Each structure stands twice: as structure tokens, then as C-alpha cells.
């Protein structure tokens, strides 16, 4: 396993909340303007975003009006649509999970952390919930609870689901077993938290009912499979690692990789022939 040579700060999921809004936003950006993380001598800080808009004037202004009307009609589709009883029930349950913060004083949350360690390092005894050992999994410091921040307990649940359901994929990403890896690799655990937050934002799950295309289609998948969000997390994590390798990325480029992952996942969720989570092309990246 590749270890980091010195500690660097990875942005928390809450730090992405203000800039990672919707696929429409990204399509309005200049092609070469992407979110970057500026850095100081010892820490990486999140977010720099600039919005680029095009104005159509003169004799061709009617084109802009036409596109605006078409866009408005498409957006209305995601404002008023019925949910089936099973979709409504499962969405409510998922949103309740989003509202659960990680509490390091709760015995069940403590046990969840220990369970994650046993999945990752089954032959290594954990010395304590506050230990240098956690850095080997890709947490920033001695205490993993400080990395959860805005994502809450669901991000730990996602990691546990990944490790239990697709252990081969989990360990391959944890130990960076495939491909030509960078000298400065992304920290596995904190990257996983950012994947959780990216999905929550992309699917618009903080709204009473998703109001965008990916969220609209996700509800159809959720109606077919109660674990659709957790499986989608595993797929997104695998997609992120594949993008990392394809882009020959290093630590400072993680946000660009996450952005590219979001774009790809948005496209797959927009395919007409996707009716189950297993229909996503990237589902084939997973293996047990």
C-alpha cells in the first residue's frame, strides 16, 4: 500500500456545498475553467468557481429565446411529477439517513468505525478509535470523526456497504492495486466521503423531491432497488478511480477528477434504457 509522505488537508464534503450544485451549472462554465483547490504551504483549501454566461443579441436573439423556452419546459418536467408509494417511502427513508450526523459518542457509530477497520485490515488489531493507524486508510488525522463534517453517518454507511458488498473492488481501490499510480495518491477514506457528497448534490436529495434530470431518473432506480443509492456510490467510487487513472492525475487534481466523474455519471443516468441500477454501463466496473 502506498503511504503519503506528509499530511495534507483534503477538503471536507461541506466545503463543496456552495459550488457543486447542478449539472446545468457545469455546462455554463468555460470548457477550460474547472474547479480547483488553491493551496498554502501546508493545507489545501477548497473552491474557486467562476460562472460564464453567453448573451445572444441582434438578429439572432430569437435563438436564445427559443432555447430558454425549451429549457424551461424541460425543467418543469422535474418540478411536478408524481411519486409511486414505494418511491416516496424509500426517498423519505434515504433523506432520513442524510439527516443523521456522525456522533463519536454513540456506541453504534463507534462500532461502525471498528467494523470498517476490520473490513480494511482484517489481520491488524486496531489500537483505538483515535490512532495513527487511521491514516493508513486515508483519513486526515488520528480521529476519523473529524472528517465526516457535513456528510454525516451516511458516508460511513456507504464505505461499509462498499466493503461488505464488493470487497474485491473495495480493497483494490483502498490499496491502489491497479494501474499506473501517482506518487501522491488520493486518500481513500476522505475521497469516499467526497463521493458521497457529490452524489447527494447531483441527485438533489436535500430537496423534498429532486428537481433535476439525474435525481428524477434516480428515483426510478430507487423504486426498483432500495439499495440503489448505496450501489450507485460504489459505482461512482469505481468511476472516480478509473477517471483518476485515465487522467494520470495526482493529489492536486482530485477535484478535476471528481468533476469528470460527475459528468460521466450524469450521462449514464440519462440513458433511456436504464431501468435498474444494474443497467448502468459503469456497473460492470464492480466485482466481488
Of 172, 150, 177, residue with least CA distance to 162? 172
Q: What average pLDDT does the structure give for the chain?
A: 80
Confidence of residue 15 (pLDDT cuts 50, 70, 90): very low
Per-residue model confidence (pLDDT) at position 81: 82
CA separation for the pair 233, 279 (Å, rounded): 15
Give the global pTM: 0.76
Average pLDDT over residues 179-196: 94
Give the model's confidence band at 13: pLDDT under 50 very low, under 70 low, under 90 confident, else very high: low
| 46 to 20, 36, 192: CA distances (angstroms) | 11, 7, 16
Q: What is the DSSP string of 189-234?
A: HHHHHHHHHHHHHHTTTTSSS--SHHHHHHHHHHHH-TTHHHHHHH
Higher pLDDT, 129 or 75: 129
The DSSP-derived string for 61-126 is HHHHHHHHHHHHHHHHHTTS----HHHHHHHHHHHHHHT----TTSHHHHHHHHHHHHHH-TTS--
Q: State pLDDT tens for residues 38-90.
A: 344 334 333 323 332 233 333 333 344 433 444 445 555 556 789 999 999 99
C-beta separation of 206 from 98 below 8 A: yes
| Residue bearing the bigger pLDDT, 120 or 288 | 120
Residue 116 has pLDDT above 50, yes or no: yes
pLDDT at 68: 42
Amino acid at each position: 500500500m502506498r503511504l503519503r509522505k506528509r499530511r495534507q488537508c483534503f477538503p471536507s464534503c461541506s466545503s463543496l456545498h456552495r459550488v457543486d450544485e447542478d449539472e446545468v451549472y457545469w455546462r455554463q462554465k468555460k470548457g477550460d475553467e474547472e474547479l480547483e483547490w488553491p493551496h498554502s504551504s501546508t493545507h489545501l483549501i477548497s473552491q474557486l468557481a467562476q460562472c460564464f454566461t453567453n448573451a445572444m443579441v441582434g438578429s439572432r436573439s430569437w435563438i436564445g429565446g427559443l432555447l430558454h423556452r425549451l429549457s424551461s419546459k424541460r425543467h418543469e418536467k422535474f418540478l411536478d411529477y408524481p411519486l409511486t408509494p414505494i418511491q416516496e417511502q424509500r426517498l423519505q427513508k434515504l433523506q432520513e439517513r442524510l439527516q443523521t450526523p456522525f456522533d463519536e459518542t454513540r456506541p453504534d457509530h463507534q462500532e461502525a468505525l471498528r467494523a470498517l477497520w476490520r473490513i480494511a485490515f482484517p489481520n491488524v488489531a486496531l489500537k483505538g478509535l483515535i490512532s495513527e493507524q487511521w491514516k493508513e486508510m486515508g483519513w486526515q488525522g488520528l480521529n476519523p470523526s473529524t472528517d465526516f463534517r457535513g456528510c454525516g453517518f451516511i458516508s460511513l454507511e456507504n464505505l461499509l456497504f462498499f466493503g461488505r458488498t464488493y470487497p474485491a473492488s473495495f480493497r483494490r481501490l483502498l490499496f491502489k492495486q491497479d494501474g499506473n499510480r501517482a506518487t501522491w495518491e488520493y486518500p481513500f477514506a476522505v475521497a469516499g466521503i467526497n463521493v458521497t457528497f457529490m452524489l447527494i448534490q447531483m441527485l438533489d436529495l436535500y430537496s423534498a423531491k429532486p428537481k433535476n434530470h439525474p435525481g428524477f431518473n434516480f428515483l426510478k432506480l430507487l423504486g426498483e432497488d432500495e439499495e440503489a443509492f448505496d450501489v450507485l456510490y460504489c459505482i461512482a467510487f469505481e468511476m472516480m478511480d478509473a477517471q483518476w487513472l485515465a487522467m494520470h492525475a495526482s493529489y492536486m487534481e482530485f477535484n478535476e477528477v471528481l468533476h469528470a466523474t460527475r459528468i460521466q455519471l450524469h450521462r449514464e443516468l440519462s440513458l433511456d434504457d436504464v431501468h435498474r441500477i444494474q443497467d448502468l454501463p459503469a456497473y460492470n466496473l464492480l466485482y466481488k
